[in-house]
Amino acid sequence: MLMPPMFELRDVYFEYDGIPALHGLSVQIAEGESVALLGANGSGKSTLLRILDALYFPSHGQVSFSGRPLTPEALHQEEFALSFRRRVALVFQNPDVQLFNPTVFDEVAFGPLQMQWSKEEVLSRVGATMALMGITHLRDRPPYRLSGGEKKRVALASVIVLDPDVLLLDEPTSTLDPRSQSQVIDLIQEWKGSSKTVITATHQLEIVDDIASRVLVLEEGRVGATGTAAEILANYELLLRANLVHAHRHSHGTITHTHPHLHSHSKHEH
């Protein structure tokens, strides 16, 4: 029997109080696939991730997960909701939405405690994840009193600790310093090579090839283009349309002018 896709969206519409966000979006994502979501500000990336996490439901169209409709009714069934929430996890673009515990330790331990793991297992998994994300020294600090990048690392840790099958990552590297960015990219790359399904919204073209085997470009709430990283990055018209290339300002003597500019991916040898 053919495996149903992990996610299947058919002609999905979603709006926020009359403001359209998704506009006839259709896409299939296979189990184990790694996908990058690109697109201009407001093109619908975060909304799509929230639909995939069953936080929002479309006003029109269908969403299914592993062949089962993802509807409010399905999420009201305790067994389905529990297994869905265990398997699928979203790291929000803005960590303030995600962090609510009194300390960093409590934040990372919250999910594991909900899972009713043994005390030893909670302590060892939480300790290992805090070390991985470089936040051990912050363990007793309140998350709301951290820097933006520190908050982001705590939010990532609180999701990674549960080892979900499906990771929905909304600009996971934004606000991180370069070293932390590269650690997160390494992690996503590891997941890419595993059986996990990873969907990452990003504006960083230079990481797309590392984190995804397929790219979806959103334009005004629907899929404008899909292809491999190489195919998408070679489509200059598309990148311009989706605000993914920008104008660089150059000065020649007294004259300053701008022209569109694509940052090429520079890899270095070790």
Ligand X SMILES: Nc1ncnc2c1ncn2[C@@H]1O[C@H](COP(=O)(O)OP(=O)(O)OP(=O)(O)O)[C@@H](O)[C@H]1O
Q: Which does 39 bind (CB under 5 to 8 A by kind): Mg ion, ligand X, none?
A: ligand X
The answer to the question of residue 46 lying near Mg ion (CB under 5 A) is yes
Pick from Mg ion, ligand X, none: which does 41 bind, CB < 5 to 8 A by kind?
A: ligand X
Q: How far apart are CA 235 and CA 215, in angstroms?
A: 12
Minimal distance, residue 128 CB to ligand X, in Å: 31
Site for ligand X in 86-105 (CB under 6 A): 93
Choices 45-53, 71-79, 111-119, 146-154 (CB under 6 A): range interacting with ligand X? 45-53
Using the minimum distance from each CB to ligand X, give the nearer residue, 21 or 108: 21
Size of the site for Mg ion (CB under 5 A): 3
> Could you give the C-alpha distances from 125 to 101, 121, 163, 235, in angstroms and in order?
18, 6, 10, 43
Q: Which amino acid, one-letter code, is at 228?
A: T
Which residues from 228-267 bind ligand X, rule CB under 6 A? none
Cβ nearer to Mg ion, comparing 22 with 104: 22
Region of 35-43, 64-72, 206-214, 253-261 interacting with ligand X (CB under 6 A)? 35-43
Q: Which of 42, 127, 142, 149 binds ligand X (CB under 6 A)?
A: 42
State which residue, 97 or 128, has the beta carbon closest to ligand X.
97
Question: Which does residue 16 touch among ligand X, Mg ion, none (CB within 5 to 8 A, set by kind)?
Answer: ligand X
Which residues contact ligand X by CB under 6 A?
16, 19, 21, 39, 41-47, 93
Which residues contact Mg ion by CB under 5 A?
45-46, 93
